[in-house]
Chain A
Amino acid sequence: DTAVSQTPKYLVTQMGNDKSIKCEQNLGHDTMYWYKQDSKKFLKIMFSYNNKELIINETVPNRFSPKSPDKAHLNLHINSLELGDSAVYFCASTPQGGTQYFGPGTRLTVL
């Protein structure tokens, strides 16, 4: 069974569109994250949720809105997509104070 899963794996869309990426973890962890990996492979934290509550919100455009319907899911919605949003987005989860487990990533391409 996949511990942290993301859908879709690939997402190609036009500028200005709105899209969502879904993340689910079946590890029973209470904290989930979204990271962005840019074209130079640099990974940076975007958001963190603990038990559906936002606890980390880095300097990210407000076009990005995370939503956590329950502690096993953390979705990322992006409005008015821009070329610079093209990246790989990784979801991760962790138990309290523990190791972060990453999903396979979603490669977003904005044309």
Chain B
Amino acid sequence: AQSVTQPDIHITVSEGASLELRCNYSYGATPYLFWYVQSPGQGLQLLLKYFSGDTLVQGIKGFEAEFKRSQSSFNLRKPSVHWSDAAEYFCAVAWGTGRRALTFGSGTRLQVQP
């Protein structure tokens, strides 16, 4: 079965430090890749997405992600973390074209230390 792996359950970084959250997916048809963020008690907000083209994509709130087909990865990065970035981050993949449902990773909880 196709799957999405976020190896880091919990990450703590200091405010102002850089951040990288990892995401790997199992091989399949053309993946559509997404990162969502969920603040406590809130819904899911789209940070960025990759469908095709330039493999480095920019998103909201200063986030970016790079698609590496050879590594089946779509890691999320931010050069300088803000305290307001503390949240749960989900990588999600839809395989193939059309109206595919998302398969989510298990999430990475980000804590930001002052």
Contact = CB atoms under 8 A, between A and B. Distances in A.
A90 B36 CA distance: 13
Contact of B43 (A31, A33, A55, A103): A103
A99 B101 contact: no
Given A99-B34, A99-B46, A101-B46, A55 B99 contact: yes
Contacts, number: 51
Interface stretch (B18-26, B68-76, B102-110): B102-110
A96 B32 CA distance: 13
A105 B43 contact: yes
Contacts of A110: none
Nearest to A51: B99
A76 interface: no
B46, B104, B106: residue with the most chain A Cβ atoms closer than 10 Å:
B104
Contact count band on A: 20 to 34
A102 B43 contact: yes
Contacts of B36: 102
B107 A41 contact: yes
Contacts of A103: 43
B104 to A, nearest CB: 4
A43 B102 CA distance: 9
15 contacts: A30-B99, A40-B106, A41-B38, A41-B106, A43-B102, A43-B104, A45-B101, A48-B99, A48-B101, A90-B44, A94-B99, A97-B99, A99-B34, A100-B34, A104-B42
Which 9 A-B residue pairings sit nearest by Cβ, starting from the closest? A45-B101, A102-B44, A43-B104, A104-B43, A31-B99, A41-B107, A105-B43, A102-B43, A56-B101
Interface of B: 32, 34, 36, 38, 42-46, 49, 88, 90, 92, 97-99, 101-104, 106-107
Given A35-B102, A48-B99, A100-B34, 10 more contacts: A30-B99, A43-B104, A45-B103, A96-B98, A99-B46, A99-B49, A100-B102, A102-B44, A104-B42, A104-B43
